[in-house]
Amino acid sequence: MFDLWSAGVPRERKQPHLFDARKWYTDMCESLGGIINQGIKDGSFKQVDSKFAATVMIATLDGIMFQAALGLV
C-alpha cells in the first residue's frame, strides 16, 4: 500500500510515476462530492459542504487502510 502511494508521487518532476496521485484524489473527491450533492438534492443528506465532506471521508478511509496495514484494525 505504501509503495503504491509513493509510486503516485514523483520525487522529481522528471521522474515517471505509476499513476497521478493528485489526479486520483481530485477525481475521487469530485465523484464522492457529486454523490453527496445528489443526496442533498433528493433530501437524503442535510446541507453540508460536499467537497469538505468528501475530503474527510477519503482521509478517514486512508487512515483506516493505514491502520489495517499495520495490523491495528
**What are the pLDDT digits (tens) for 6-51?**
665 566 666 666 677 788 899 999 999 999 999 999 999 999 999 9
Contact 40, 48 (CB under 8 A): yes
Cell numbers 459542504 label which residue? 49
Cα angle vertex 51, ends 30, 24, to 5°? 35
**Global pTM?**
0.74
Sign, Cα dihedral of 34, 35, 38, 39: negative
